[in-house]
Chains A and B, each alone.
Chain A
Amino acid sequence: MADVLTFTDRGIYCAAGDFYVDPWKSVDRALITHGHADHARWGMGSYLATEQAAPVMRMRLGDIQLDTIRYGEVRQIGSASVSFHPAGHVPGSAQIRIDVGGEVWVVSGDYKVVSDGLSEPFEPVKCHAFISECTFGLPVFTWDSPKDVAAKLNTWWAIAAAEGKTAIVGAYSLGKAQRILSSCDPSIGPILTHAAIENTNEVLRGQGYSLPDTVRVTAETDRKAYRGALVVAPPSALGSAWARKFGATTTAFASGWMALRGVRRRRAADRGFVMSDHADWPGLNSAIAETGAERIFVTHGYTSVFRKWLESQGYDAKIVETDYDGESLDATDTSTEDAA
């Protein structure tokens, strides 16, 4: 059977349908797994994404030619039939299933298998070849249940509130921020958001995603009037002049990297919550097993180690060079917005 996809310097290419998936250079036709900046880039001739992913993409990329598709709907593009399936990564994120003459390949984009209560839950898709990320593809990464993480977050916030401090948590504006909002207990106090996050919140609320009430922080906001509030801001805002205007604060950062004590201690934040929108080690392994695929292509993350592991488990595994960032470790340090 011929390969359904090839890996080019523009992105993942399907010759049968003459389209690319999540290309990083300008192409005519792009199928997009989700709206993060390293997957949905500016400058494509046309875009196809899920109905749920489209509004945020429009907000971020402006006036683009964007066609949408429902989860599970099959569309014929050239001689390829294509469908999108939930990836559980962020609201609207999808794995893309591509069937050419009965040979099925799936590009998973970024994914996590545990439900976060907001994103459409991950759905295993049977295939012959699976293109997987492995951002956290080492056996030291095992996430606590979302319930436990939420409990830690709320305890931290409640203690800060009791001490009269403002709790500021750094989170990417699409995905992590909303996950924090849906994990926190609004009875503890008011919730404030940075404009970069509130813009995304408004779009998602408009689509019907359920988020607690939040107050947008503007230049006019009297920040000291919200003692005991939870503030959700992009990581770059932590430690900035913007954050200092809140007076007495305690800070936290939410990322899968916080599982490592060294990274946690290196960060300037007071607390680190282990919260990731990427699959952990057990998640990657179970997701791959459930596809039934024999061929696995690993894109970003601990690719060489993970490929070797998959081979030892009997898979035909290869590394694919891409321009995807995953949840970058640098970002937890240098606060690059939106790498995940």
Chain B
Amino acid sequence: MKRFASLFTQVDQTTKTLPKVAALKSYFEEAPEEDRLWCIAIFSGRRPKRTLTTPFLRGWAAEKAGIPLWLFEEAYPVVGDLAETIALVLPPATRDSDQSLTHWINVIRTLPTLEEEERKATVLDAWDQLDPIERFIFNKLLTGGWRVGVSQKLMTRALAQATGQDEAVITHKLMGNWTPDTTTYQQLIEADDPTADLSRPYPFYLAYQLEDGPEALGTPSEWRAERKWDGIRGQLIVRGGEHHLWSRGEDLMTDRFPEFTVTPDFLPDGTVIDGEVLAWADGAPLSFNALQKRIGRKTVPKKLLAEAPVILKSYDLLEFDGEDWRDRPFDERRARLEALVHELPSEVPVKLSPLVAFETWDALTTEREKSRDLNAEGVMLKRGDSPYLSGRKKGDWWKWKVDPLVIDAVMIYAQAGHGRRANLFTDFTFAVWNGNDLVPFTKAYSGLTDAEFREITSWVRKNTQQRFGPVRQVTPHHVFEIAFEGIQESPRHKSGVALRFPRMSRWRKDKPLQEANTLDDLNDMLRIYG
């Protein structure tokens, strides 16, 4: 644990990439293989399951610290992190030990098999032999929600450097539904064939947003355009007579979307298709709301299957006939994909995402403007001769979203954030005018700079009218421009509308309170875009 704690300290103390990668690299070179595997698992979102509920931990920590529980609860929001609060209130350890990371993870994993008294004894015993940083890590593993400034990308780079392998190869090896129980460091990282696991997906290629127009991209004839669908990015794998559906966040979604169980009957073995899972009816996408109902469910009731059936809008072919096609040009992959999908009977829910024809950039601009009517977010641009890369890379693929909708709203409630944002007011509720009343209609958390968050925080402290638990009602004064991607009717909200991806796009210090938008304005938008 000391080695892992030192790694954690090193990456936590810096915001710079190079020292982080260097620290990870030396960890991957020096740590025992078991610990390396767990380290990879932790930084790729494969933490051990939570085995304790937090009320137990809070109670034990307060008791051990000799403070009443209410005092612990008062301190928690100031720290903004439960694992850290516990680590900070506990008295110093009375012993010193240096068990491995794997040892402590195993201790955590055995907790559910123990009686409550034994669990408590085990956790207290652990706290009593770990230093503050080790305790924090131990508590993080206990409570979940591990956010360290290490992206999977950084970890992959460090692993590539430590093992002398290509970054893309490591990325591929880390995909799929492995856990430290189902593999070893040797099998996962050192073994040669990443497709040995039939369910293993390819890393997704992600596009950057095109900030200015497409003119800088050069000749239109070198580029292909598609609609940018507002669904869930998905990779459909048919191998060994079975199918698997992966999300971009590396969630296996196969069981959630039983529509695709027919695919192994129609698609040849060794086929991997990249596309967008969409709720679809009568030849058009349903709203994202319809799909949302499907996302949260592990199993789907019949009624929902009928109401919101899904399809895969296919746009790329990554593997054909068991062969990795990612290095072939887009046009070639696309031609093969079209042939493949055209052969499918209409009941197979794999459809083609059609190309959008355009001769000039002006023509494409016109096409892009139709996006909202088509329930699309914009257009995608892909270079005809481009390979399928892994991760977010600039150059060959671009997303060109339509400009967001905006509305000017008044801030009425504020709440402090968590973790890095503890003690800062970052979560706000906004309202529009309805006569002389302010009607809340959305929350927003992002879009301001750190300096702006600090400025608004100090303002909120001085302008709180009333407190409701962690929420503060503030004097209506500040107007913010709220940007969002879509608007829908919602009986659950007082205003009657729900926004998609709301964020603060501008602090309208120039705008007086009375000039914020009205509920009528919002309803007009609902009529046009809802």
CA of A266 to CA of B422 in the docked complex: distance in angstroms? Answer: 9
Nearest CB of B to A306, in Å = 9
B85 contacts the other chain (CB 8 A): yes
A305 contacts the other chain (CB 8 A): yes
Report if A140-B420 is in contact (Cβ < 8 Å); known contacts: A261-B12, A261-B81: no
| Nearest opposing residue in chain A for B68, CB measure | A312
A330 contacts the other chain (CB 8 A): yes
A77 contacts the other chain (CB 8 A): no
CA of A95 to CA of B71 in the docked complex: distance in angstroms? Answer: 28
B13 contacts the other chain (CB 8 A): yes
B side interface size, CB within 8 A: 32
A140 near B75: Cβ-Cβ < 8 Å: yes
CA of A265 to CA of B458 in the docked complex: distance in angstroms? Answer: 19
CA of A293 to CA of B15 in the docked complex: distance in angstroms? Answer: 47
CA of A312 to CA of B70 in the docked complex: distance in angstroms? Answer: 11
A208 contacts the other chain (CB 8 A): no
B454 near A330: Cβ-Cβ < 8 Å: yes
Please give, as numbers and ranges, the residues of chain A lying within 8 Å of B12 by CB-CB distance.
Answer: 261, 265
A309 contacts the other chain (CB 8 A): yes
B88 contacts the other chain (CB 8 A): yes
Nearest CB of A to B372, in Å = 37
B422 near A260: Cβ-Cβ < 8 Å: yes
B13 near A262: Cβ-Cβ < 8 Å: no
Please give, as numbers and ranges, the residues of chain A lying within 8 Å of B80 by CB-CB distance.
Answer: 260, 262
**Which residues 86-105 of B have a CB within 8 angstroms of A?**
88-89
A76 contacts the other chain (CB 8 A): no
A118 contacts the other chain (CB 8 A): no
A262 near B423: Cβ-Cβ < 8 Å: yes
A140 near B450: Cβ-Cβ < 8 Å: no
Per DSSP, chain A at the interface is helix
Indicate which residue in A261, A266, A305, A333 contacts B84 across the interface (CB closer than 8 Å): A261
Indicate which residue in B75, B84, B421 contacts A139 across the interface (CB closer than 8 Å): B75
Please give, as numbers and ranges, the residues of chain B lying within 8 Å of A334 by CB-CB distance.
Answer: 454, 458
**Which residues 110-142 of A have a CB within 8 angstroms of B?**
138-142
Interface string of B117-140 (1 = CB under 8 A from A): 000000000000000000010000
A270 near B422: Cβ-Cβ < 8 Å: no
CA of A136 to CA of B71 in the docked complex: distance in angstroms? Answer: 13
Please give, as numbers and ranges, the residues of chain A lying within 8 Å of B458 by CB-CB distance.
Answer: 330, 334
B204 contacts the other chain (CB 8 A): no
CA of A309 to CA of B158 in the docked complex: distance in angstroms? Answer: 48
CA of A302 to CA of B74 in the docked complex: distance in angstroms? Answer: 10
CA of A334 to CA of B461 in the docked complex: distance in angstroms? Answer: 15
**Which residues 240-266 of B have a CB within 8 angstroms of A?**
none
Please give, as numbers and ranges, the residues of chain B lying within 8 Å of A261 by CB-CB distance.
Answer: 12, 79, 81, 84, 136, 419
CA of A138 to CA of B67 in the docked complex: distance in angstroms? Answer: 10
CA of A21 to CA of B420 in the docked complex: distance in angstroms? Answer: 38
A263 contacts the other chain (CB 8 A): yes
Please give, as numbers and ranges, the residues of chain B lying within 8 Å of A305 by CB-CB distance.
Answer: 71, 74-75
Please give, as numbers and ranges, the residues of chain B lying within 8 Å of A217 by CB-CB distance.
Answer: none
CA of A329 to CA of B78 in the docked complex: distance in angstroms? Answer: 11
CA of A270 to CA of B19 in the docked complex: distance in angstroms? Answer: 12
Give the bracket for the number of chain A residues in contact with chain B.
20 to 34
B490 contacts the other chain (CB 8 A): no
Nearest CB of A to B437, in Å = 33
A265 near B14: Cβ-Cβ < 8 Å: no
Please give, as numbers and ranges, the residues of chain B lying within 8 Å of A271 by CB-CB distance.
Answer: 13
A259 contacts the other chain (CB 8 A): yes
| Nearest opposing residue in chain B for A262, CB measure | B422
Indicate which residue in A259, A262, A312, A333 contacts B419 across the interface (CB closer than 8 Å): A262
B41 contacts the other chain (CB 8 A): no
| Nearest opposing residue in chain B for A142, CB measure | B88
Nearest CB of A to B240, in Å = 46
B65 contacts the other chain (CB 8 A): yes
B286 contacts the other chain (CB 8 A): no
B450 near A266: Cβ-Cβ < 8 Å: yes
B420 near A139: Cβ-Cβ < 8 Å: no
B160 contacts the other chain (CB 8 A): no
Indicate which residue in A138, A263, A329 contacts B75 across the interface (CB closer than 8 Å): A138
Report if A140-B85 is in contact (Cβ < 8 Å); known contacts: A262-B79, A266-B450, A305-B74: yes
**Which residues 50-66 of A have a CB within 8 angstroms of B?**
none
| Nearest opposing residue in chain A for B424, CB measure | A266
A140 near B68: Cβ-Cβ < 8 Å: no
Additional 8 contacts, C-beta under 8 A, given A261-B419, A262-B80, A265-B420:
A138-B75, A139-B67, A260-B80, A261-B12, A262-B421, A266-B424, A305-B74, A308-B71
A-B contact pairs, 23 of them (CB 8 A): A140-B85, A141-B88, A142-B88, A259-B88, A260-B84, A261-B79, A262-B80, A262-B81, A262-B420, A262-B422, A263-B422, A265-B420, A266-B421, A266-B450, A302-B74, A305-B75, A309-B67, A309-B68, A309-B71, A329-B423, A330-B454, A330-B457, A334-B458
Interface of B with A (CB < 8 Å)? 12-15, 65, 67-68, 70-72, 74-75, 78-81, 84-85, 88-89, 136, 149, 419-424, 450, 454, 457-458
Interface of A with B (CB < 8 Å)? 138-142, 259-263, 265-266, 270-271, 302, 305, 308-309, 312, 329-330, 333-334
